[in-house]
Amino acid sequence: MIIDPRFTQLAEGLTSFSTALKKGERVLIDAFDIPDAMVIALIRATRARGAHPYVQINRARITRELSLGAEEAQYAPHAEVELARMQKMDAYIALRGSGNIFEASDVPSEKVQLVSRLMKPVLDHRVGKTKWVVLRWPSSAMAQQAGMSTEAFEDFFFKVCTLDYARMAPGMKALADLMTKTDRVHLKGPGTDLRFSIKGIGAQTCGGLRNIPDGEVFSCPVKDSVEGVIQYNAPTVYLGASFDRIRLVFKQGKIVEATSTNTKRLNEILDSDAGARYVGEFALGFNPHILEPMRDILFDEKIAGSFHFTPGQAYEGVGNGNRSQVHWDMVCIQRPEYGGGEVWFDGKLIRKDGIFLPKALHKLNPEFLLGKK
């Protein structure tokens, strides 16, 4: 079978750089509505490294149908089987395509929450115990979301996903070191005046090892330290539902008021469990190729000049201990065309209108990452 060279290049990056597969390791290739040719490219790249590929094929319409009638008696044994398989894996590569990002929009929230709760041990093991990377796959639906032709979006996708992520390393390390030493964070912008502490939490760089596309450094607020209000300006899709203009008010770390264009569903999700109204992640995004939101969080959370502030589950290692079945990356863009904004660390202005100001962080600004400086 003749494989598109772009598929081969991407597969090589995912198996070598992102998951660094070694001889004898087992990898689960989780394919959601993507071309067979890309799955084959991954199988070939895996075998070329002496590793063993395992494949699962998923279809969104079938998943929706199963979810519509989800019952604990069905999904509890299913989760046990999936966990047993994941425990046999050393690595996990997921490619997620979609012909319709709203395919699950009519699945009742109680069914979604049931499936999420029962499958959470599988997710926790995959995130905490395997080498993993997750990426979207370009489709006509994604091109529509981005307001681009299918061909132009495919060119954009492969340019973003094959970026020289190693170029980000020096700037990311400097930002992570700074965040690790920081206590107080203050976010300012249109509709946003938010204060919190990240003291003692640490920071994690993200340069192509977990998500593709990538380009962020994340930390986490001390659980009860968040005070103030935040107004997000990037639209979002979560659990098959669409949300715009989300506004959250915090007191002692907890979301006490939440509104959006879909306020009822927003609050249903935030009431999923005790941890959903607390925050599990704070991150700064800086991928120079990603400038506009497209309702796909793997792209939107990396937008140059953005931050995301995430209700729900915190990560192990760089977290505050918050536990939830929810992990909802909500994005605010601070470049001038989106109203601007400021990020302050311990009283020092770190980023203004999307541009990092300290000299050590200049390597995360678009000019450097695009090779113009």
| Among 46, 133, 27, 42, CA closest to 90 | 27
Question: Residues 103, 200: one domain?
Answer: no
Domain match, 201 and 258 both: yes
Paired with 135 in beta bridges are 95, 212
Residue 312 makes CB contacts below 8 A (sequence gap 6+) with 275, 276, 278, 279, 280, 322, 324, 325, 326, 327, 328
Range of the domain at 41: 5-161
pLDDT tens for the chain, residues 1 to 373: 889 999 999 999 899 988 999 999 999 999 999 999 999 999 999 999 999 999 999 999 999 999 999 999 999 999 999 999 999 999 999 999 887 878 888 999 899 989 999 999 999 999 889 999 998 888 888 888 888 898 999 888 888 887 778 888 999 999 999 999 999 999 999 999 999 999 999 999 998 778 888 899 999 999 999 999 999 999 999 988 899 999 999 999 999 999 999 999 999 999 999 999 999 999 999 999 999 998 888 899 999 999 999 999 999 889 999 999 999 999 999 999 999 999 999 999 999 999 999 999 999 999 888 776 5
Q: What is the pTM of this model?
A: 0.77
| C-alpha–C-alpha distance, residues 370 and 373, integer Å | 8
**Total number of domains constituting the chain:** 2
Same domain, 133 and 222: no
Question: How many Å apart are CA 304 and CA 300, to the nearest integer?
Answer: 9
Question: Do both 156 and 217 map to the same domain?
Answer: no
Boundary-marking domain end, from 161, 195, 229: 161
* Residue 172 and residue 56 share a domain: no
Same structural domain for residues 15 and 74? yes
Q: Which of 144, 161, 178 is the last residue of a domain?
A: 161
Count how many residues are written for the chain.
Answer: 373
Residues in a beta bridge with 219: 282
In a shared domain, residues 320 and 289: yes
What CATH number has the domain bearing residue 62? Answer: 3.40.1830.10
Residues 25 and 12 in one domain: yes
**Both 129 and 175 in a single domain?**
no
Same domain, 33 and 170: no
Do 131 and 209 share a domain, yes or no?
A: no
Last residue in a domain, options 130, 161, 192? 161
Helix (H, G, I), strand (E, B) or coil at 197: strand
Residues 14 and 53 in one domain: yes
One-letter amino acid of 66: L
